[in-house]
Structure 1
């Protein structure tokens, strides 16, 4: 009977340790998506990602048929904004938190058209917005983030590869940073 009790105790303890390690590993990882985005030096500015090429490292697992832009926003500095006029072709945008989870995504097929005007607010800023203590531009699409560290990825489908430079120039013209 005593041996059975020790065996059950050992299995339960092993399960607790196993689950604890599994839950802790993502927080201890140093080579995660957020770290890769931080290396781009994209805080408050748009960074165009180089096109993926066969045989070269592709840490973001980019599709070579798309053009990509990334920017990082620190909401402790104030609400974030991403705006610009993008080409008529298909594009999509996603806002990610520090863990790499998408907190919002949209495409130009959601009725937005070519004009992108997105505001990103943390919970405290959203409360100020609700009580009309923050002035924002009319028509700003509001996204609430649970944390203060976010990054935005914009993807554009290229009708032809020869148009890559023009599409990347349109991406580079976007405004990304904090609302002043």
Structure 2
């Protein structure tokens, strides 16, 4: 008799724990589903849209209004980003001057890295990049504008994205040169 009561009590306890676990998992899933919209609105595209228009280079490592737009950036690098939409033209990104190292990465609107290049990619180490779709590339090849003669072409199968440019400051003495590099940089549709 006692062993039957023990078994019954054990099964009741196990069923109670299982039921409690299922209810808890259901609550967690509902909370996650309700939080998804708030997290998806705070992606890089959304944050940049809050502070600047399309084709505007924005510093993401620092902000006069407060903390950096993107947290966790390496303090040895200065960074800027530019949102673009190739529906109305091709994107031309330039920055005059030489810095110890720069890199540029193109991301789609969802944040997937589509292409990256460094100062070793272009002639004389200057930042001069043209981002365009395959259809736009056909038109450009037919009649290459003089302003693109030294440019690196990035042909990508999407129209909206973000280009992020980073420059390395080996020590504090390079900061003014890097600040000037970003201040004179441009991100424009042509």
TM-score by length of 1: 0.71
User: Displacement of 1:42 after TM fit?
Assistant: 4.7
The unaligned stretches of length 5 or more in structure 2 are 1-35
C-alpha distance in structure 2 between counterparts of 1:141 and 1:124, whole Å: 17
Deviation digits for residues 25-74 of structure 1 (CA, Å, limit 9, x no counterpart): 79x9222222122223152222123449xxx6763421112111111221
TM-score by length of 2: 0.68
* 1:150–1:86 distance in 2 versus 1, CA, 3 Å: farther
**Higher relative helix content:** 2
In structure 2, which of residues 65, 76, 87 is the aligned counterpart of residue 65 of structure 1? 76
1:69/1:172 contact within 8 Å kept: no
| Residue number in structure 1 paired with 2:135 | 124
The unaligned stretches of length 5 or more in structure 1 are 1-24
2:61/2:69 contact within 8 Å kept: no
Aligned length: 153
Does 1 or 2 have the higher relative contact order (CA < 8 Å, sep 6+)?
Answer: 1
| Residue number in structure 2 paired with 1:109 | 120
1:92/1:106 contact within 8 Å kept: yes
Where 2:54 maps in the other structure, the secondary structure is coil
C-alpha distance in structure 1 between counterparts of 2:124 and 2:143, whole Å: 29
1:120/1:145 contact within 8 Å kept: yes
In structure 2, which of residues 141, 148, 157 is the aligned counterpart of residue 146 of structure 1? 157
* 1:171–1:89 distance in 2 versus 1, CA, 3 Å: same
C-alpha distance in structure 1 between counterparts of 2:56 and 2:42, whole Å: 22
User: Displacement of 1:110 after TM fit?
Assistant: 3.4
Higher-Rg structure is: 2
1:118/1:142 contact within 8 Å kept: yes
1:1-180 matched pairs, under 5 angstroms: 29-51=40-62, 59-110=70-121, 112-130=123-141, 132=142, 135=145, 137-179=148-190
